[in-house]
Amino acid sequence: MLSHDEVTTDHTPTAPQPDAAGRVLHLHRGGTSVVVDLDAAPHPAIVHWGEELTGSSEQTLRGLAVAARPQRVSGGLDEPARATLVATPGGGWLGTPGLEGHRDGASFSVRLELVDVQADDHRAQLSLVDREARLSVQLELSVGTAGLFHQRITLRNDGDSRYTVQHLHLAFPVPWDATEILDTTGRHLRERSPQRHPFGYGTYLRESRRGRPGADATLVLAAGRPGFGFERGRVHAVHVAWSGNHRLVAERSVSGEAFLAGGELFAPGEVVLAPGGSITSPEAIGSWGDGLSELAHRFHDEWRSRPAHPRRPRPITLNTWEAVYFDHSLERLTALADAAASVGVERFVLDDGWFVGRRDDTAGLGDWYVDPTVWPDGLHPLVDHVHDRGMEFGLWVEPEMVNPDSDLAREHPDWILRARMALPQSARQQQVLDLAHEDAYAYIAARLHALLDEYPIAYLKWDHNRDLLDAGSGPEGVARVREHTLALYRLLDELKAAHPGLEIESCASGGARVDLGILARTDRIWTSDTLDPLERLTNQRYTALLVPPELMGMHLTSPVVHSTGRTVDLDFSAAVALLGHVGIEWDLTATDDETRSRIAAWVELAKHVRPLVAAGRTVDVDGTEPGIDVRGIVARDRSSAVFTLTQTDTTVAYPPGRVRIPGLDPGRQYRIRVVGGSTTAAAQSGLEWQDHGIALTGRELDAVGLRPPVQYPQRSTVIELTAEDGAPHQAQGGAR
C-alpha cells in the first residue's frame, strides 16, 4: 500500500505547470479509471470516473486535476466550491450535501479535511476529519475486476455528546454531456418499468421509504448522452446495495458539476451515534459503458466472480403456488411431483400453506410448524417422494412476517414492528416482526434451523409480502428499518453458514426486494409475480441491468395467466423464460400427454442453453421495428449464441424487415438454425434462410441482419448461432 506522501507531492498554488499542480490518486482496473484530486478544497474531489486512462502519466493526471478546477466568477465564493467526496455547506457546497447531522439541534456544521491516504492501483482508503465538529470519516474507494466503482463511508463520532446523522450519501461525478436520465418505476406485477427524463439543472430524487426497495423502486439511476440505448451511447449509473430504505440523487449545478449519488435513507432519529460510536454505509456501486449492455455486463461479470456465486447448473424448478395455492394434500402434491419429474424438473418447491393454521392468507404466519391436520406424518412422505423422483425439495417461508391471527402474535405482541399503540395498517392481513428484537430473532432462527435440520431442504423461497410502515421498536420507540435489515442479513448469513449448500431465493410479493445487498446472501431473485410473458419482456430486460440472468427466476406459466387473465401460447411463454433461471408455475396434472411432451422439449432446450445463460453476455437489440423484440445471450468467447425473435404486436411491414443480430465476432462465420418456438410456422412460410441452412459472419449479422419469420402476435422463435470454426453446438432435442 502507498502512503499519503507516496501518492502525492507538495502543491504550490502559484506554480502554473501541471507537474507541480498537486497530488492525484489514480485507481484503475477492468477498463475503468477513477482520478481523485487530493488537493481540492476543502478535501478531495473525483475529477474522472469512466474510461480507463491507459497511457496517462502522473504529470498528465495532475494536469487533468488542474483542468477540472473551477474558475472564480462574479457573484460566487472567493474560492469556488466543489462537489467533493463528502460535500457540505461548511466547505462551501450549496447543493445536496453528502453528510448532514447535529448534536441535539446544535453543532450542525461540517468541514472535513484530508489527513491520510492509503492506496494501491485499484483501491484506496482516505481518512478525513473535522476536529471542530469532532467527527472523522473513513472513505473506501475501489475499482472491481470488471470495472465497477465501489464506495463506502464510515462516520465516527469523536465527541463527548451524541451525534444524530440525518443524511449520508456517496457521490459519483458524471460527464457534463450526460443530459438524459433513465430510471425504473412500477408496482406489484409490473416492477422495473423504464422512464426517461431530461437531466436539467437542479435535483432529481428517488427515495424508497418502504422498508425494502419496493416494486416502484429504481434498480439503478443512470445518466447518459441523449438517446443512449443498450448498444450505444455513453452512460453511467449508480446502485445502492441495500435492502432497506434508500435514496438516489441526480444533480446538475450551475457551478458546472453533475453527479449521481446514493445512500441509505434514515428515519428521524434512526441513527444517533454515542460518543465513540460509528456507522458504516452500504456500498454504493457505479457502472458505466458505451450503451446499457456494457454497463450491465460490468455488474454481471463482477457478481459472477464472487466465491459464493452459484457454480452448478441452475436446477429447473417447479413451484406449486399457482398449481394448488392453499389446497394441500399428499395425494395431489405427489401427483404434481410425478408430472414435474416426467418433464425434466429438477427442483420441487412447496409454496405457502404447509404450516399450522394456514388454510388461507389470513392466519398462521409466524407459527412455523408443519400442520399436523394436513400433514399427519410431517412433510417426510412428500419429501421422500420428491427425492425418489430424482428432484431436490424446496420450501416457501416468510420469516419476517406475522398474522395477528397466529399463536406468535397473541403470545408476543411486543415483537411486532410499530411506532404507536395501534398496529400499523395491515397489508395482506399481516404485520412485520421486529428481527432486531433479540427474542424475536432467536425464535425465528430456531424454527428455521429446526426445519432445515429435520428435512433435507435444498432451497428456501424467502418471501416478504408487504412494505414496512411506521416501523418502530414499540410505542414511543425508535425507528427500526435499519436495524431490522441488518438483522435479516445476519439471519441469512447464519443459515447459510450452518447449512452448507442451502440456496435461498429473494421473493418480495414478486420483485420488490431486488438489490445487491440481498443478492450477496441469496442465490436468485423472483423477478416478478406476473408470469405473463408479454409483461415479462420489459421487466426482465431492465432487471438484467443489474442482475445476471441465471439469478433471475423465469417460469413457464399456464395458458391463462393468473395475474393478467391473458391467454398465452406455450411456446411464447417458454421462449420468454428461456434466457434465465428456468422454472414452471403450472398445474401439470391438468395437462395432456401432448402438452407435457412440448413442455419436456422446452425443459430439454433450457438445460442445453443454461451453461450459456450462466456465463454469457446479454444482448438487447436497439432500433427494431415496434412490435418486434430481439434479445439474446452470446458466449464470452463468442463461439455460440442463442437469440429470441419475438413478435409482440402486428407491424406495418408484412413480412417484417430485417433485424440485426449483434454481439458476435465480426470475423467469424456462424451457422444459424431455429431450435424452438414457431418453427413449424416459419417452415410453412418459406423462410429461405432456414430452408437453406445459411451461414453469415458476425459483421454481416450486425450490419445487415436477417428476416425474422412471419409470426402471430405474442409468438417467439428461438435461433441458435454456432461459429463454424469450432465444435458444433448441437441442441439436445430442442423444442418443436
Question: What pLDDT does residue 686 have?
Answer: 76
Annotation marks residue 10 as catalytic: no
Give the pLDDT band of residue 680 (cuts 50, 70, 90): very low
Mean pLDDT across the stretch 250-277?
Answer: 97
The answer to whether residue 511 scores a pLDDT higher than 90 is: yes
Ranges of each domain in the chain? 1-305, 619-723
| Cα–Cα separations (whole angstroms), residue 123 to 152, 486, 676 | 12, 26, 46
Cis bond upstream, residue 42 (ω within 30): yes
**How much is the pLDDT for 657?**
94
121, 136 Cβ separation under 8 angstroms: no
Task: Name the phi and psi angles at 182, rounded to 5.
Answer: -125, 130
Nearest to 570 by CA among 610, 600, 613: 600
Comparing CA positions, the residue from 710, 606, 703 lying closest to residue 662 is 703
User: Would you say residue 8 has pLDDT above 50?
Assistant: no
pLDDT at 407 over 90: yes
- Average pLDDT on 668-693 reads 79
The catalytic position among 523, 529, 532, 620 is 529
Query: Each residue of 66-106: pLDDT tens digit?
Result: 999 999 999 999 999 999 999 999 999 999 999 999 999 99
Q: How confident is the model at residue 652 (pLDDT cuts 50, 70, 90)?
A: confident
Backbone angles phi, psi at 553, to 5 degrees: -65, 120
Integer Cα distance of 34 and 38 in angstroms: 12
**pLDDT surpasses 60 at 728:** no
Mean pLDDT of 154-169: 98
> Is residue 729 classed as helix, strand or coil in its secondary structure?
coil
Please give the Cα distance from 687 to 707 (Å, whole number): 8
Q: For position 690, what pLDDT does the model report?
A: 87
DSSP result, 10-74:
---TT--SGGGS--EEEEEETTEEEEEETTSSSS-EEEEEEE--TT--HHHHHHHHHHTSPPP-T
Per the prediction, the chain carries an average pLDDT of 94
Pairing of strands 640-647, 715-723: antiparallel
Q: Which of 37, 301, 434, 463 is catalytic?
A: 463
Enter the pTM of the model. Answer: 0.95
| 619-723 topology per CATH | Immunoglobulin-like (2.60.40)
Mean pLDDT of 397-422: 98
Is the model's pLDDT at 735 over the cut of 60? Answer: no
Q: What is the pLDDT of residue 574?
A: 98
**pLDDT at 54 > cutoff 90:** yes
Fold of domain 1-305: Beta-galactosidase; Chain A, domain 5 (2.70.98)
DSSP symbol at 355: B
Q: What are phi and psi of 519, to 5 degrees?
A: -75, -15
pLDDT higher than 70, residue 684: no
Using H for helix, E for strand and C for coil, what is the string for 691-724? HHCCEEEHHHHHHCCECCCCCCCCEEEEEEEEEC
Model confidence at 444: pLDDT above 60:
yes
Alpha-carbon Rg of the chain, whole angstroms? 27
Nearest in space to 273 (alpha carbons), one of 103, 471, 100: 103
3 pLDDT above the threshold of 60:
no
Q: Is the pLDDT of residue 2 over 50?
A: no
Residues of the chain above pLDDT 90, percent = 93
First to last CA, the chain: 59
Record the cell numbers describing residue 636, joined without a space: 464470452
Whole-angstrom Cα distance, residue 127 to residue 361? 51
10 Å Cβ neighbour count for 730?
12
160 catalytic residue (yes or no): no
**Predicted local confidence at residue 651, as pLDDT:** 87
Strand pairing category for 278-280 and 149-157: antiparallel
Amino acid (1-letter code) at residue 535: E
Task: State the pLDDT confidence band at 512, using cuts at 50, 70 and 90.
Answer: very high
Position 633 confidence tier, pLDDT thresholds 50, 70, 90: very high
Region 583-598: what's the mean pLDDT? 98
- CA 525, 526, 532, 537: dihedral to nearest 10 degrees? -10
pLDDT digits (tens, 9 = 90+) for 194-217: 999 999 999 999 999 999 999 999
Alpha helices in 305-394 (DSSP H): 321-324, 330-342, 380-388
Report the pLDDT value the prediction gives residue 725, as an integer from 0 to 100: 85
Q: With bands split at pLDDT 50, 70 and 90, how would you rate the model's confidence at 14?
A: very low
Mean pLDDT of 12-35: 73
Question: Which residue would you say has higher pLDDT here, 693 or 15?
Answer: 693
Q: 212-239, pLDDT tens digit by residue?
A: 999 999 999 999 999 999 999 999 999 9
